[in-house]
Chain A
Amino acid sequence: MKFSVNKKEVFASTGGRPFDKQKPLIIFIHGSGLSHITWVLQTRYFAFHGYSVLAIDLPGHGYSEGPALESIEEQGKWISDVIDSVGVKEASLVGHSQGCLVVMECASQFPDKIKSIGLMGGAGAIPMNPELLELAEKGDPKAVDLMMDWAHGPAGHFGGHPVPGLHHINLGGSIVINGSVKNALGVDFRACDNYKNGFEAAKKIKCPAINILGDRDRMCPVKEGKKLADNITGSEVEIIENCGHMILLEEADKSLAILKKFIRKNHPAE
């Protein structure tokens, strides 16, 4: 659906069901340069099982009006504005990669609005490889190829997508390429590289949290994910074997099963 946040048009997938503000809300926040498409194997389930879902396109991504927001702090504040814009008092947040930083920033700035948080492939800091950052900021599509290589574990490189016929790396790459390498991916990478407040934000989080990690993640390795979890009071940790950074797609069923259990417990639907 399309709606307005700070007078700019925003697109969010509602998981195939009309948005209903009476139902508990889960907001899904994508990673660098990506879009709502990455969440399709989580959002439809929740939308058909008692929740309202918004898999948002961050500003300047997917079908949301730009420009992209240049800092994680701004993006965290923007998620709070999304919650206000749809007329809801509280939401659970689920993030992937950069989306995890946004979730933590929002949950630490606006604790009263956040019911629970799920972090997939997260870390307290995501410093970028300088060459990759430079390529992305120049709009070089090689940045996308490198990102897709590093982001995927064995299933991404060999095959075996949970949805028959889909190709992990080419699908992921096309989501980024269909956006703007320079104005979305480049801005996102710079925002991640600049963000230094991750562990401080983590310490301020009071709501239930879960860190879902892939043991073959080369972008946010398990040890970084565990370090982040150690800074969030009471955070649960789930590690998925043989899984890279694209946990939400590479191991869609396992990550959904973990999320289902966590969100039903901490933010139940009637």
Chain B
Amino acid sequence: MALELLAPCPPFDLPGTDDRNHSLAGVKGKLFVLLVSCNHCPYVIAYEPRMVALANEYAARDVAFMAVNANDATRYPDDGLQPMKARARERGFPFPYVRDDSQALVRTLGARFTPEAYVFDEARKLRYHGRIDDNHRDAARVTSHDLKNALDALLDGKDPPVLETTAFGCSIKWK
């Protein structure tokens, strides 16, 4: 079951590619964007530059980003912590990239795909869930910037114009 709108962000404390643990309590920011991601999915790879650009753009507006990878690293070794470290370094992730090896966080979120975005407000209640935008193939042909629209609305004290969209991408590799 997917986390319902206005439900609180599940607590977590997960190891990151920066060799530190990252917890919900440690997240600072007016808004918190949690991106369910991974290393090997072509959809994620296509979106990574946009994920980085969004995180950089909204950092100045007090929005915290984090990416979490829960894929079964036994079947998909590219999704283990060491390859994640390499990816974070190569792409210059400006946000923590954490490993949910037990898959508990991602299961509680009810995520099914990578990438899948969750936006929590200052009280860490879910305000937007779904895709980043409507065109993973070509950023220039995006017609609906769903995540960006949600962030702009929330930062203006309004509800996101669309609260939920259907995420698409690779399925999460469950254990």
Indicate whether A and B interact.
Answer: no
